């Protein structure tokens, strides 16, 4: 399939006030002159089953490796001509969740058939596709990454529970595996040192919420970024970061990420009001980032996160509740009756373990995710957050599809009650000497770009969405839907000698290749 139509990147100017605490910068939404154009698309031919998720790239072979969870494979695409991506081989990778490439070596994280059992990482030659080895890691390896020098593969073993039912709790430990590539050895960084210290973690702001769970079972690694000898790992459901020393294969810190005040940075909180209504609300957002990436600026390392939010909704346990179904403390919410209307906060999904008073009435409302992109120091200090900019951007660029779902078109406003546009994947790259962060919006679709060259004052650089809202998601005629993995290819590694962005879309089963120009 050949696609060469350029897609306009929104040039958006928004009047937004300072919405964050003193010392924290807010996105200023001034276009920084970046353009993304769709070059080509490969379709796996399956919709709604995760047929295109995480992607990785090998510059020597000009191949993109795409996790196809539906088939239990990694599809290998030749993008020598990015206008016409072609599948050339597949790698047998049952239970594949993530893929990474370095120096011609492909690493694939594979969960076991029973996700609570130990998983594995398989290694393949990027050119021949021949399997070179396999090692055992922890339960549910959800994401992996090579260290920049290729010596280590760092694996986030999520250890997600299968059941919280009384007498049948099945909740393995979360952990981080550190694989020495040259030696073929695996060391595991665990969280057992924090067992018995759960109350201390909670007091610092780390969320420990599984019924009766110890810290090592409750902490769930999600996504990894690596620089030098350190890995930073998102603990999504716990609203925290783990800091891992690779040389020691040890967790050396757990950093809470705090809360976002939506009384200052507004949200659209209702899917039943039939309109776009972004305004301040008496709600706090729990960042709960999924993806994380690192970049250097002014001699320092910074972390950028996509603040998706995630809940635990299992047999016998759910941490989701709607505002209209809870009691609100009158001294904190004197207008409770109004707030609990469906057109106000009544439909908003919040954490069931939000703070309560002695009578069980909620004194604060914590919503899943922050509907934003953030930048932090390596110690977890928040230096910038995009505030309500993502929702305002979509409201301006796609008003008829605002906060749409990714399961069907004609779903205007249907995600306003639950995480909004839902930023999930994030990556960084350099274009003509400036550093950009690219984040995929899982629900409404598309990729937003920020110029983060100044980490304390990023600027909105553009937005591209190649979803066809006139088509059918179910029939596979809706273009690119449900961006999951976002991958940047530097100009010097690109077959076109211009930077590329590769996006795996899990709902549409498509892998889209965009050209990036400034």
- The pLDDT > 70 percentage for the chain reads 94
Whether pLDDT at 25 is above 70:
no
Region 207-212: mean pLDDT is 91
Whether pLDDT at 36 is above 80:
yes
Region 28-37: mean pLDDT is 66
Q: Tokens for 243?
A: 């800091």
pLDDT of res. 176 = 98
Alpha-carbon span 246 to 230, nearest angstrom: 6
Name the pLDDT band for 168 (thresholds 50, 70, 90). Answer: confident
Region 479-508: mean pLDDT is 98
Q: Tokens for 69?
A: 């969870």
Which of helix, strand or coil describes residue 193?
helix
Q: How far is CA 318 from the centre of its chain?
A: 21
Encode 440-501 in three state secondary structure: EECCCCCEEEEECCCCCCCEEEEEECCECCCCCCCCCCCECCCEEEEEEECHHHCCCCCCEE
Report strand pairing: 366-368 vs 284-286: parallel
Whether pLDDT at 167 is above 80:
no
- DSSP letters for 340-404: TSTTTTTT-EEETTS-B-TTS-BS--EEEB-SSEEEEETT--EEEE-TTHHHHHHHHH-GGGTT-
Reported as a single tens digit per residue, the pLDDT across 316-351 is 889 999 999 999 999 999 999 999 999 999 999 999
Closest C-alpha among 150, 154, 148, 97 to residue 126: 150
pLDDT of res. 315 = 81
For residue 303, give Cα distances in angstroms to 104, 247, 390, 487: 27, 21, 19, 16
Alpha-carbon span 479 to 508, nearest angstrom: 7
Whether pLDDT at 212 is above 60:
yes
Neighbouring CB atoms inside 10 A of 299's CB total: 5
Reported as a single tens digit per residue, the pLDDT across 265-283 is 999 999 999 999 999 999 9
pLDDT of res. 3 = 33
pLDDT of res. 11 = 31
Whether pLDDT at 15 is above 50:
no
pLDDT of res. 164 = 83
CB 260 within 8 Å of CB 372: yes
Reported as a single tens digit per residue, the pLDDT across 374-402 is 999 999 999 999 999 999 999 999 999 99
pLDDT of res. 17 = 30
pLDDT of res. 478 = 98
Reported as a single tens digit per residue, the pLDDT across 54-89 is 999 999 999 999 999 999 999 999 999 999 999 999
Whether pLDDT at 29 is above 70:
no
pLDDT of res. 13 = 30
pLDDT of res. 268 = 98
Whether pLDDT at 138 is above 80:
yes
Please state, rounded to an integer, the average pLDDT across all residues of the chain. Answer: 93
pLDDT of res. 90 = 98
pLDDT of res. 518 = 86
Q: Which residue has the tokens 């060469």?
A: 4
Predicted model pTM: 0.94
Most confident of 9-23, 29-43, 190-204: 190-204
pLDDT of res. 18 = 30
Q: Could you tell me how many residues make up the chain?
A: 518
- The torsion region of residue 460 among left (phi > 0), alpha (psi -120 to 50) and beta comes to beta
Does residue 170 or residue 301 have the better pLDDT?
Answer: 301
Picking from 317-321, 346-350, 367-371, 436-440, which range would have the lowest pLDDT averaged per residue?
317-321
Name the pLDDT band for 2 (thresholds 50, 70, 90). Answer: very low
Domain 25-310+369-517 has CATH 2.130.10.10: yes
pLDDT of res. 289 = 98
Name the pLDDT band for 459 (thresholds 50, 70, 90). Answer: very high
- The pLDDT > 90 percentage for the chain reads 90
Domains of the chain by residue range = 25-310+369-517
């Amino acid at each position: 399939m050949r696609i060469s139509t350029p897609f306009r990147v929104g040039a958006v100017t928004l009047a937004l006030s300072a919405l964050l605490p003193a010392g924290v910068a807010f996105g200023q939404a001034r276009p920084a002159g970046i353009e993304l154009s769709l070059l080509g698309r490969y379709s796996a031919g399956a919709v709604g089953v995760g047929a295109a998720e995480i992607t990785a790239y090998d510059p020597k072979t000009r191949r993109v490796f795409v996790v196809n969870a539906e088939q239990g494979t990694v599809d290998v695409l030749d993008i020598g001509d990015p206008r016409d991506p072609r599948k050339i081989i597949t790698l047998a990778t049952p239970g594949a969740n993530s893929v990474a490439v370095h120096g011609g070596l492909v690493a694939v994280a594979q969960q076991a058939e029973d996700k609570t059992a130990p998983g594995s990482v398989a290694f393949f030659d990027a050119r021949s596709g021949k399997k070179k080895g396999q090692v055992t890691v922890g339960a549910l390896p959800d994401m992996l990454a090579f260290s920049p020098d290729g010596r280590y593969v760092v694996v986030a073993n999520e250890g997600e529970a299968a059941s919280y039912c009384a007498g049948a709790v099945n909740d393995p430990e979360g952990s981080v595996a550190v694989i020495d590539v040259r030696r073929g050895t695996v060391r595991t960084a665990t969280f057992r040192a924090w067992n018995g210290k759960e109350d201390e973690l909670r007091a610092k702001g780390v969320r420990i919420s599984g019924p009766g769970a110890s810290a090592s079972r409750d902490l769930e690694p999600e996504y990894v970024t690596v620089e030098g000898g350190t890995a930073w790992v998102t603990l999504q459901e716990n609203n925290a970061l783990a800091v891992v020393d690779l040389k020691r294969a040890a967790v050396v810190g757990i950093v809470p990420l705090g809360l976002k005040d939506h009384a200052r940075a507004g949200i659209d909180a209702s899917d039943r009001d039939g309109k776009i209504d972004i305004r301040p609300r008496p709600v706090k957002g729990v960042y709960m980032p999924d993806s994380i990436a690192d970049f250097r600026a002014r001699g320092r390392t910074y972390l950028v996160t996509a603040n998706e939010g995630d809940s635990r909704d299992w047999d016998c346990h759910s941490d989701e509740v709607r505002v209209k179904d809870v009691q609100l403390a009158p001294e904190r919410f004197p207008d409770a009756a109004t707030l609990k209307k469906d057109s106000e906060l009544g439909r908003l999904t919040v954490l069931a373990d939000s703070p309560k008073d002695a009578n069980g009435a909620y004194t604060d409302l914590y919503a899943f995710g922050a509907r934003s992109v953030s930048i932090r120091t390596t110690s977890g200090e928040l230096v910038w957050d995009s505030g309500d900019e993502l929702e305002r951007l979509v409201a301006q660029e796609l008003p008829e599809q605002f906060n749409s779902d990714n399961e069907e078109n004609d779903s205007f406003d249907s995600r306003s009650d639950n995480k909004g546009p839902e930023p999930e994947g994030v990556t960084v790259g350099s274009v003509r000497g400036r550093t950009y962060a690219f984040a995929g919006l899982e629900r409404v679709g598309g990729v937003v770009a920020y110029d983060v060259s100044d980490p304390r004052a990023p600027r909105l650089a553009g937005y591209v969405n190649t979803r066809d809202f006139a088509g059918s998601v179910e029939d596979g005629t809706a273009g690119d839907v449900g961006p999951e993995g976002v991958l940047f290819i530097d100009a010097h590694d690109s077959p076109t000698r211009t930077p590329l962005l590769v996006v795996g879309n899990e709902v549409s089963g498509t892998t889209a290749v965009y050209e990036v120009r400034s």
